[in-house]
Chain A
Amino acid sequence: MTGWLDAHLVSMVDGVAYGLLLFTLAVGLSLVFGMMDVLNLAHGTLYLAGAYTAYALSDGSWLGLLVALLVGLLVGLAGGGLLAAAVAPLQGRGHLDQAALTLGIALIAAEVMAMFFGAEVLPTAPPGSLARSVSVLDHSYPLYRLVFIAVAGVLAVLVYLAFERSSVGALVRATVADRDMVRAMGVDTRKVLFGVFAFGAVLATVGGVLGAPIIAPGPGIDDRVLVLSLVVIVIGGLGSVRGALLGALLIGQVQTLGVALTPAFAPFLLFGAMLLVLVLRPQGLSSLGRA
């Protein structure tokens, strides 16, 4: 048992890092879909924009990272606002129109970014003092990923508390549950919707800035993280922060520990997990804790 644990400990730690990264992406997508009924296929683009921001601005110093984070924040706000404004006229026109619009935006943005940053994957260096590996129980592990786990963990807890315990969070959850009722009570739900859209977008770009040293920016990365976050929210359940967290951590482990244990099945694990959840619990895992 200890031998097994020793061999796979690094994979499990890495699964947590991966899972938390996915959480920053999936939570925005999940809330936007849950609340606004808007399928935003440009969500992966926001991650990529954040990651490219990190590549362009981080020079291995802490200041560089800070600047990148601030710019990433602004990019997220602008991107989220633009996307929310773009899909607003399509309210009630069904998912296909929204999907077509956001996919179109994603394709255009991808081409524009490819024009500026080229076709190569651009590995992004973390701040110099974190750019080394440390020994975790005799296994070499990148220090940056450990720090990332801490930072993203705090971020996840904050987001969770904000949505589940604060009054703003209650408003958002109420909008997810019954938009018309909230509107009938005199709340301008459009403001809530814009706010959530922008918030989700900011989380995705900040995730991109912080995640660039883990999933480096390059053409096609937007699609890949979009697919991962869609799977996460299918598994976790819609419109729930808890679900996104559960789903993300689960997919993190499936993609690391699962792959280490059964490398031959690696291509099937991701969608296998999704299929299993769909069969056993079509409403997603988040309903576990609900009455």
Chain B
Amino acid sequence: MTTRRTTYLLALTAASTLALGACGGGTLGGGGDEGGEEADGTIKIGLLVPQSGVYKSLGDDMRAGFEVYLEEHDNTLGGLEVEVVLADEGETAESGKAAADKLVKQDQVTVVTGVVSSAVMNGVVDLFETSKIPLVGSNASPTTLTDAEFIWRTSYVNDEPGEALGAYVAENVDGGVYFLAADYQAGKDEVSGFKKSFEPAGGETVDEVYTPFPATTNFQPFLANAKASGAEALFSFYAGGAAVEFVKQYDQFGLKGEIAHYSAGFLTEGGVLDGQGASAEGTFTAMNYNYDLDNELNASFVEAYVAKTDRNPTTYAMASYDAAKVLDLAIEAAGEADPEAINTAIGEISEIESPRGTWTWSEIGTPVQTWYLREVKEVDGTLTNVIIDELGELGG
């Protein structure tokens, strides 16, 4: 009798622990609230990035990228002294939304930048549109976000890494392609982006499977099915911890070397590559940036970033650096810390010089930029992404 009751209790606990885990984070961080009005010549900028949870390392990169720009410009943007208010995006839409709310309503920042997760981005659209505060996002960019007036992104639209690769894979792989992606918005966007250019180029799909996220740590059953399918190549979408596990198991279960592995760039971007080790070698990815790009601005950015963090910049750091640049130009043009004036000025920026090369705004407020094919190779004893081809321009 009591056993039965306690069993139900346990079942309930198992279910609610899941929910609890999902609510964690979000309340930490934030800055001092003196509540004072902003003094002349300063501007309050909200930096909304994860400082806890699975995306923490992305958040760290974005924060460092933003800070590198500030340090290069004496902590001013457009002539105004910058006060950065840090908020923890956490892991989920709820934690991110709460942090954004706090930035806008309590801290009363003039502009916000950051946002890693697409779910958070979807959740805060209304907040920024109705309070008329510009959000210069530096990572998340769901495909559905096409008509926002106050939301800009210096990264790329979610489906673009896939779209950049699709035609290339269709032309260079002789046989069918298997799709394996994390089961959430970004994973589905990536696969549909890939197919957008893959199918017109005559590519053949073997199967399309989505793995539960973030619950999947063991990819063995999925990889076994992929291996048995007879596909020539596999296109995947994973980031963070899942990317490490996926790439390692791809090697362990004997797919590496037999089935060519193509993926969106973040599979091997940043810290995850160290975790993957030699298993990652030979993985092909598409990305809008790589630290080895040969231009002057990139050279100085890489130098400053390495000096600050002791690691090479990622696309996340670079996009955040660019967000600071966009704000710098816009605040200068607006001449005051007024959200609406700054928003108008952002839209009027004709081109942005960036470590990735010069880019312009697309119609939906994302960059028009060149894409690159990278392969993981060993260079001077360390594994790194190396650009091996250009994949053309997207976003126009």
- B-side binding surface: helix, strand, loop or mixed? helix
Q: Which of A123, A141, A224, A237 contacts B275 (CB 8 A)?
A: A123
Contact A256 B17 (CB under 8 A): no
Flag B200-242 by CB within 8 Å of A: 1 or 0 each. 0000000001011011111011101100100000000000110
B18 cross-chain contacts in A, Cβ below 8 A: 223, 227
Report the bound CA distance from A260 to B229 in whole Å. 12
With known contacts A120-B272, A123-B277, A219–B9 Cβ distance under 8 A: no
A141 cross-chain contacts in B, Cβ below 8 A: 252-254
B1-27 interface with A by 8 A CB criterion: 3-4, 6-11, 13-15, 17-18, 20-21, 24
B6 cross-chain contacts in A, Cβ below 8 A: 33, 37, 238
B4 cross-chain contacts in A, Cβ below 8 A: 282-283
Contact A11 B224 (CB under 8 A): yes
Of B52-60, B76-84, B291-299, the one contacting chain A is B52-60
Q: Which of B183, B241, B277 contacts A218 (CB 8 A)?
A: B241
Answer yes or no: A233 CB below 8 A from chain B CBs: yes
Flag B167-211 by CB within 8 Å of A: 1 or 0 each. 000000000000000010000000000000000000000000101
B15 cross-chain contacts in A, Cβ below 8 A: 271
Answer yes or no: A278 CB below 8 A from chain B CBs: yes
Q: What's the interface size class on A, roughly?
A: 35 or more
Contact B220 A256 (CB under 8 A): yes
Contact A260 B10 (CB under 8 A): no
Nearest CB in chain A: distance from B13 CB, A: 6
* A residues at B contact (CB < 8 Å): 7-8, 10-11, 14, 18, 33, 37, 39, 41, 95, 99, 103, 107, 114, 118-123, 133, 139-142, 214-216, 218-221, 223-224, 226-227, 230-231, 233-234, 237-238, 255-260, 263-264, 266-267, 270-271, 274, 278, 282-284
Nearest 6 A/B pairs, CB to CB? A140-B254, A119-B56, A121-B241, A260-B221, A230-B14, A267-B212
What are 22 A-B interface contacts by the 8 Å CB criterion? A7-B224, A14-B221, A18-B218, A114-B52, A120-B272, A121-B245, A142-B253, A216-B241, A216-B244, A216-B245, A220-B241, A224-B214, A230-B13, A231-B11, A233-B10, A238-B7, A255-B218, A266-B212, A267-B212, A271-B15, A274-B14, A283-B3
